[in-house]
Structure 1
Amino acid sequence: MASTTALTSLAEIEESLRQISISDFTELKSYAKPPLAYLAIFEGIGVLLDPSKKAWEWTDDKKLMSGNKNDFLQRLFNFDKDNINNEQIERLKSILARNDCQPAHLASISTLCSKLGLWLQAILEYATQRQQSNQHIQAQTINLPRYLATLFALDENSVEIGQKATACVLAAAWCRHDHRLANNLLRHRRLFTLTEVFKAITMLDAARRIRVYEKQLKRLELCQTKPKVTKLGKIKK
């Protein structure tokens, strides 16, 4: 369960990566000694695709890019983003915090480098939000009375919980099919306004919508004719 915003951002970035030119990809593969920014970005990609590997060399990166552009992109897009673990999240955070991986610097290297950096950032956002959602589900499952006591104690002491966190509470209840809990939560109208309800619903619906979106793009890729920009725009909506 991740937010619609995170999923939409990821889908849009993946679409933009599909539009990179073959010449840009070929140029990247031809580097004997690439800019440090590329090494950092591919280290991040390596953390996702092969987390058991502790160090990545450019020779490893070139193996990852073996084949054509579409082969490379499919390796990125097909990896299991729903099962990124805590260690991968922390390693990716550390990499993206480096000066070499800041958006302005990546953009100064190349468009492809910038887009790969944005993709990693979107993956990190998606994984982080999914992790937070799963924590709510786990907490409700393990010790619901303590979970609720903490929630309402924070509210009674005027501690700001935040719309996103409150929406996660409700979404977790629905995700667990605990409709009795969800109905009881909705009685607390000061905590669970229409805004939180809408956010919770979109969290639950996000994964389904992204799968539909990816299938539509895949069908367009298999078409003999190049899809029009207006067609892609309609899919995004």
Structure 2
Amino acid sequence: MATASTKPVIGVTLDAEPAGGYAGSPWYALRQNYISSVNACGGVAIALPHHPELVPELIALCDALVITGGAFDIDPALFGERITTPTIRLKPERTRFERSLLEAAMAHDLPILGICGGQQLIAAVTGGSLIQHIPDEIGHQLVHNRKAAGELIHHPVTIAPGSLLHAVAGVSELSVNTSHHQAVRSVGPGCLITARAPDGVIEGIECPGLTFCLGVQWHPEYLETAADRGIFLALVEAARRYGERRRQSSVS
């Protein structure tokens, strides 16, 4: 937890891979820009390992969370469906940990930013559902998933006026990068849809009952635009305020 003289601490979740390739035992993975974007915007990023039993201790360390994307999919069982496409790739240990972490963070009103799979997890945990494979439901109106590692493709999104996302991004329309084959289909009663692509795919959600709980389908950690930077600056500021409230409550 941040102190009065330090920057706020932002917990960042990790992806994981089985043994093989890089190492002979299972290993964690994360693009560096998840970390560097937090640090560049005034926070101190720490990586969070997949240990559900340590969630209370990890929450106590953090002033905010970033739930990242990665090479995996949310289990359809979380929103009451069976797998309907061979494109699904599950990572049960990661999802079990992130679900526990997210639920604890919401219970503490910890500021939360969900990116790509992180947005999808927010939707599923709060009573929404996901499109398991975009081409199966939406078709090929718009390309959402890159074909090669390192490739960045883009499409426009429209952001709802009056939303938290609109306030922190500072724009109503934005060109965003895209790399996903799943998407949010619907949100639960505690969430709002705040951004869409031209083909209707949901690109932003938020939970207005919480101080700061924002999901985006694209990857603002690349800091390609002023809006991307605004998202991280707002998260860090919300973390700073959260840390201040927590310190005040601990001495009162």
- TM-score (ref. length: structure 2): 0.24
- Structure (1 or 2) with the greater helix fraction: 1
Q: Whose radius of gyration is greater, 1 or 2? A: 1
- Structure (1 or 2) with the greater strand fraction: 2
- TM-score (ref. length: structure 1): 0.25
